[in-house]
Amino acid sequence: MPHKHLFRDDYSEGAHPRLLEALSKTNTQQEPGYGADSFTHEAEQLIIKKIKQPQARVHFVAGGTLANLTSLSAISKPYESVILTENGHPNVHEAGAVEATGHKLYVVAGVGGKLTPDAIQKVVAEHTDEHMVVPRTAYISQATEMGTVYSKKELQALSKVCRQHKLYLYVDGARIANAIMAEDADHDIDTIAELSDMFFIGGTKNGALFGEAIVIVNPNLQDKFRYHLKQRGALMAKTRAISVQFLEMFKDNLYFDNAKHANQMAQKLAKGIAECGYEFLTVSPTNQIFPILPDSIIEQLQKKYGFYVWVPNVSITGKTSTSAIRLVTSWATSQDAVNEFLSDLKSLGKT
Amino acid sequence: MPHKHLFRDDYSEGAHPRLLEALSKTNTQQEPGYGADSFTHEAEQLIIKKIKQPQARVHFVAGGTLANLTSLSAISKPYESVILTENGHPNVHEAGAVEATGHKLYVVAGVGGKLTPDAIQKVVAEHTDEHMVVPRTAYISQATEMGTVYSKKELQALSKVCRQHKLYLYVDGARIANAIMAEDADHDIDTIAELSDMFFIGGTKNGALFGEAIVIVNPNLQDKFRYHLKQRGALMAKTRAISVQFLEMFKDNLYFDNAKHANQMAQKLAKGIAECGYEFLTVSPTNQIFPILPDSIIEQLQKKYGFYVWVPNVSITGKTSTSAIRLVTSWATSQDAVNEFLSDLKSLGKT
Amino acid sequence: MPHKHLFRDDYSEGAHPRLLEALSKTNTQQEPGYGADSFTHEAEQLIIKKIKQPQARVHFVAGGTLANLTSLSAISKPYESVILTENGHPNVHEAGAVEATGHKLYVVAGVGGKLTPDAIQKVVAEHTDEHMVVPRTAYISQATEMGTVYSKKELQALSKVCRQHKLYLYVDGARIANAIMAEDADHDIDTIAELSDMFFIGGTKNGALFGEAIVIVNPNLQDKFRYHLKQRGALMAKTRAISVQFLEMFKDNLYFDNAKHANQMAQKLAKGIAECGYEFLTVSPTNQIFPILPDSIIEQLQKKYGFYVWVPNVSITGKTSTSAIRLVTSWATSQDAVNEFLSDLKSLGKT
Amino acid sequence: MPHKHLFRDDYSEGAHPRLLEALSKTNTQQEPGYGADSFTHEAEQLIIKKIKQPQARVHFVAGGTLANLTSLSAISKPYESVILTENGHPNVHEAGAVEATGHKLYVVAGVGGKLTPDAIQKVVAEHTDEHMVVPRTAYISQATEMGTVYSKKELQALSKVCRQHKLYLYVDGARIANAIMAEDADHDIDTIAELSDMFFIGGTKNGALFGEAIVIVNPNLQDKFRYHLKQRGALMAKTRAISVQFLEMFKDNLYFDNAKHANQMAQKLAKGIAECGYEFLTVSPTNQIFPILPDSIIEQLQKKYGFYVWVPNVSITGKTSTSAIRLVTSWATSQDAVNEFLSDLKSLGKT
């Protein structure tokens, strides 16, 4: 029996209706393949303008893991490694995709899911000769896999330590819009572009049917990137299928509005859950929240709602067996679904 | 100045309108990600039924190179190689994608773009010890990159020699529908399924917005394939975006009708060109034809039509400088475009 | 100005004289290449007999990193990973060699440099689906990089948890003889063979001119291993150059006597250093010891002796700045060198 | 029953006695590991002087396949390929070692086993965009696997076309001494150094116990090469074990004398065989010859001599079934063995 509402992830629905309309409207126009089409050119220009980096280049690919593995392998020499936290997506949820391209991931402890300048410096200091890899790239995700957001100051500090040690700063932006549209966010997407060497703008998790936009800010990393894309199977014949969507999302504020809605729904959930007296695994201002609930209540909720138990057996009070669950909202999450969940939770708490 | 009509490839347009409609219709339905959705399940069942191999498993990926590199690396041990002809797509047009996964491609001479049992047998005979790789898979494309089609008898002979030597037969079906719908075709898709171990059903070049369906016929090759997909960045969060399209294409005969139309348009072009007295590089019954035209006429045509010069300086008669061009038609190619091209060619011939 | 004595590593000299004699004695005998020679066959038989595993197969390669990368990649499917501690040689001192073959290393915290069954179990429990790699091999080194030794009981516990979860247990035996000849050692090499699936017997660090013997105990891992060797450049034309040495070392007790001497020299050093009142980083019964000395004394010692500062700024007492150094002895370390070092240390302590 | 004499390869014996003596003489000297020792430094200097390229850098590795795979992967970006002939060692006899590092080998037809400038030019012309790899290196072996030798003029022409198209010229010198010491040779090793970007000087097949010297002539290719070596398992702890041998071979003319003797023995064999009226597969002035003999005579010879049947069923005259065999001589091949073989052949021919 299917769940009434899914809070399992931000890709449970298709695409924002405007994107499907854009695909329909442009459908019969004949265009060259593999990204040489006019839509792709136009979408690249829009993004470049938005991020205020005229020298940047944009490439559209089908998914986030493909973006990460292609990008990180393209900018790393065989003996170069990537520094990231234990929660970093390539470390846990990409089935060894980056290592499969031959590169070591060097895992360090994050603070609230976030990489710190100190951790980077320590890794650099330890890698001194040819018996070891050369750390070359610091990978961060903004927002992180734990729903947290790097502040502008934190990004600046990371960028500074990277540039000091000639490391690249790579930002996985699968949920970049959620970070930027967080209520207390202190920076826009141009800040991320300015402080990083390469990042991707996520479509899949923010209302696109599929697709991400890889942005290469650092000109030294732009040469022959299409060869890397082709070799990894990431150069799409109908790149237009992605770029038409980005065109639509960036021609006004749709891309950011999608995230704003998702964030609002999650924060409303968080507020309601907190009011019921529950704690959270992390303080997340974005569309992923990690409340800690009694297992008995989780069990009841699971009958009606789809979501993941993220960390089983998290005991805060010690009284009862509790677990952290993950609730994710999207551009398509309805107020009603949120209200219904909170109302059910309240009822369950009473019993 | 853009061309009036493109005969450059079979992916110059978006998608068949029915596929966009299907995407719209299913858009808001909440479903689990990564292929666990009901559309994917249903599409897999439809395909399995169509190919008459109940034990087969189907996986949907974003593109053909991704399908090839993921599949061929998944079924090959590190020291195992793939046999293919010099025109085989992974040999020339995938930027070394299969080698990038660590595997040798062993190139043999094709006959009309087609791999022969003799060539396979010779390769197997030559590879005798651990100083050499072990040939494990024979790669063919149906239809071939030269527009030609393997007959049922040819496929049976290849299948036989492969099974005799414990090789896998892998069929790149980017244009499988064009092969099956060729006027003199002597087999259906179930024949290909029966005779091969693994193949993919191409969507991108046959009217889909994007996407291919990898079919693993041989049960020995099915285990853990989703791990390979994930590792290569080929497991899509919204797999539904592909499977909804395949569902629509396979619920009636749309998938094959698309190819039938493309073939008819190409054959009409071929007939008209032949009537003008021109030769062809290969005898192609599918949607790619390779007429040989005087360079002066090619130059004129290129002002109005987009197409590739495939083999420059092909001299048949020796009188004038001639080249082979490639004309490709699709599900969307109009009768008018074909007529216009032929009419122009006729006029040019007269001057 | 070169140091009077090196305690830098166990490969500062050439080979035990008996090995050079054996190479000379067999030098003109004509033999087939690539390990098909009679010496290699005989050495394999001797080793098999010594480890009491008649079904085992032995392969001789030039070095330890080559042994590790070839072995670990051979026994891992593309999506399978290796569990090891942060000190594990492939994690820190092989320049990403295993990742370069496409495989993830999963690093866990060791206890005294040693991998624990609990850590393995935790990793297995966490890896549940195709978004993650599949842990397949547990890598340990015996003796460890920190000079410590797994007891028989510890090996049994590791072996048990590995077999329970269908993991392979792989033992890096670069210093296997030092482990077995440790004063309080409770097991012989046959125990390691019995409890593991694959291991290597180190030559380079125990008196051989070069070379290691990879032993594949588990018959399921033996097939086509020579193909892997060849593909990694590890199959030597004159394999005899290695196997003649192993033949000499295993025809009597030379292999173990070499390690016994090295251990004794290190333990004599350790005893003398302890008598001077210094602490150690780990309790090592083998040929690597890690005393913690005041930096001022280290500076003095470095004028005459070659050794590495292993962990700078280790402060035990807090009074003075201290660092952990590494002293390594070998089959060739002389009593005189040890006495001289201790005498110098004693003098320095007085000032 | 073992053969009385082996003509199977040039690595059937151990090492030239002077090399074993040199290893003994230097044996107890304590030195730093991994090539930081004084022998390695001295050997590098000797080689640099001999090849007259003061900016060159030399690295010593255990074998030829290891040299090739490490070098070719180090100098190639992921999307770059290596051009070589069908007989090129990495194409046929390295079990896919180069592809296993992710790089495509592009095979072209050789002329007498030799790569031609025309073939290179054609490959470069064909590779035009990101759907294809970028040809970056031309691989040749001097002498070739067919025993033939590039003339100075041929090398100059190859070098010229490579530099014109920004390709690297890489020379596999497993038998470089045999090429240089061929009777009609028109160039020395400094010519090869001058015309190439990178090459290796083979020890294994020319009297060393094992080991090859990789020479990086082009300064652009020198950076971080030790990282590549380490990552491929090619950086030996006791690099001295190789460099001491090269020191001995290059301190006078031993390295070249070894090859001169081998060549003379092979040419004596060739002359005798030709006098018996037999043809050859190639005209080889080096230590590998490929006579074509009746199968009945081959069968008789195989009872007493070890050698390979290289191409079965080569029919020159058509009268009888004939095959090409390969006879290889080495620094250790005796006049007696050669005389005995020729005498036996003569007798067999009479029957």
- The residues, ordered by sequence, that sit 6+ positions from A7 with a Cβ below 8 Å of its Cβ are A269, A305, A306, A307, A327, A328, A329, A333, A337, A341
Q: How close are the terminal C-alpha atoms of chain B, in Å?
A: 25
pLDDT given for residue A319 in this prediction: 67
Mean pLDDT of B237-266: 98
What does the block give as tokens for C115? 């991998």
β-pairing, B291-294 with B322-328? antiparallel
- Interface contact flag, D236 C210, Cβ < 8 Å: yes
pLDDT given for residue D315 in this prediction: 72
A79 vs C93, C96, C103: nearest CB: C96
Tens of pLDDT along D224-267? 999 999 999 999 999 999 999 999 999 999 999 999 999 999 99
Could you tell me if D65 lies within 8 Å of chain C, comparing CB atoms? yes
Is ipTM > 0.90 here?
yes
Using a CB-CB distance cutoff of 8 angstroms, which residues of chain B are in contact with residue C77?
A: 224
Q: How far is C307 from chain A (nearest CA, A)?
A: 16
Helix crossing, B17-25 with B240-251: angle to 10°?
Answer: 120
Using a CB-CB distance cutoff of 8 angstroms, which residues of chain B are in contact with residue C226?
A: 130
Could you tell me if B312 lies within 8 Å of chain A, comparing CB atoms? no
C99 vs A94, A104, A130: nearest CB: A104
pLDDT given for residue A302 in this prediction: 96
Mean pLDDT of C178-196: 97
Task: Examine the pLDDT at C111 and tell me if it is beyond 70.
Answer: yes
Tens of pLDDT along B69-103? 999 999 999 999 999 999 999 999 999 999 999 99
Tens of pLDDT along C215-256? 999 999 999 999 999 999 999 999 999 999 999 999 999 999
- Interface contact flag, C96 D20, Cβ < 8 Å: no
Using a CB-CB distance cutoff of 8 angstroms, which residues of chain D are in contact with residue C332?
A: 28
Mean pLDDT of C272-293: 96
What's the rounded Cα separation, in Å, for the pair C38 and D278?
A: 34
CB B163 within 8 A of CB B120: no
Residues 130-159 of B with CB under 8 A from D: 130-133
Supply the mean pLDDT for chain B. 96
Tens of pLDDT along D184-209? 999 999 999 999 999 999 999 999 99
Using CB atoms within 10 Å of the CB of residue A234, give its burial: 0 to 12 exposed, 13 to 18 middle, 19+ buried: buried
Mean pLDDT of B228-252: 98
pLDDT given for residue C285 in this prediction: 97
CB B120 within 8 A of CB B85: no
Three-state SS letters, chain B: CCCCEECCCCCCCCCCHHHHHHHHHCCCCCCCCCCCCHHHHHHHHHHHHHHCCCCCEEEEECCHHHHHHHHHHHCCCCCEEEEEECCCHHHHCCCCHHHHCCCCEEEECCECCECCHHHHHHHHHHCCCCCCCEEEEEEEECCCCCCCCCCHHHHHHHHHHHHHCCCEEEEEECCHHHHHCCCCCCCCHHHHHHHCCEEEEECHHHCCCCCEEEEECCHHHCCCHHHHHHHCCCCCCCCHHHHHHHHHHHHCCHHHHHHHHHHHHHHHHHHHHHHCCCEECCCCCCCEECEEEEHHHHHHHCCCEECEEEECCCCCCCCCCEEEEEEECCCCCCHHHHHHHHHHHHHHHHC
Lowest-confidence segment of B25-29, D41-45, D299-303, D320-324 by average pLDDT: D320-324
pLDDT given for residue D305 in this prediction: 97
pLDDT less than 50: residues of chain A? none
pLDDT given for residue C319 in this prediction: 67
Give the nearest chain C residue to A94 (CA atoms). C131
Could you tell me if D85 lies within 8 Å of chain B, comparing CB atoms? no
pLDDT given for residue C323 in this prediction: 95
| Percent of chain C whose pLDDT exceeds 90 | 95
| Backbone dihedral region for residue A34 (phi beyond 0: left; psi -120 to 50: alpha; all else: beta) | left
B230 vs C131, C226, C230: nearest CB: C131
Could you tell me if A230 lies within 8 Å of chain D, comparing CB atoms? yes
A227 vs D130, D228, D231: nearest CB: D130
What's the rounded Cα separation, in Å, for the pair C80 and C136?
A: 6
What's the rounded Cα separation, in Å, for the pair D263 and A270?
A: 83
Which candidate in A77, A99, A136, A221 is best for mutational testing of the D interface (most D CBs within 10 A)? A77
Is residue B2 very low, low, confident or very high in pLDDT (cuts 50, 70, 90)?
confident
Could you tell me if D81 lies within 8 Å of chain B, comparing CB atoms? yes
Using a CB-CB distance cutoff of 8 angstroms, which residues of chain B are in contact with residue D81?
A: 96
Using a CB-CB distance cutoff of 8 angstroms, which residues of chain B are in contact with residue A172?
A: none
Using a CB-CB distance cutoff of 8 angstroms, which residues of chain D are in contact with residue B310?
A: none
What's the rounded Cα separation, in Å, for the pair D32 and D49?
A: 24
**What are chain D's partners, defined as 3 or more CB pairs within 8 angstroms?**
A, B, C
Could you tell me if B230 lies within 8 Å of chain A, comparing CB atoms? yes
Could you tell me if D95 lies within 8 Å of chain B, comparing CB atoms? yes
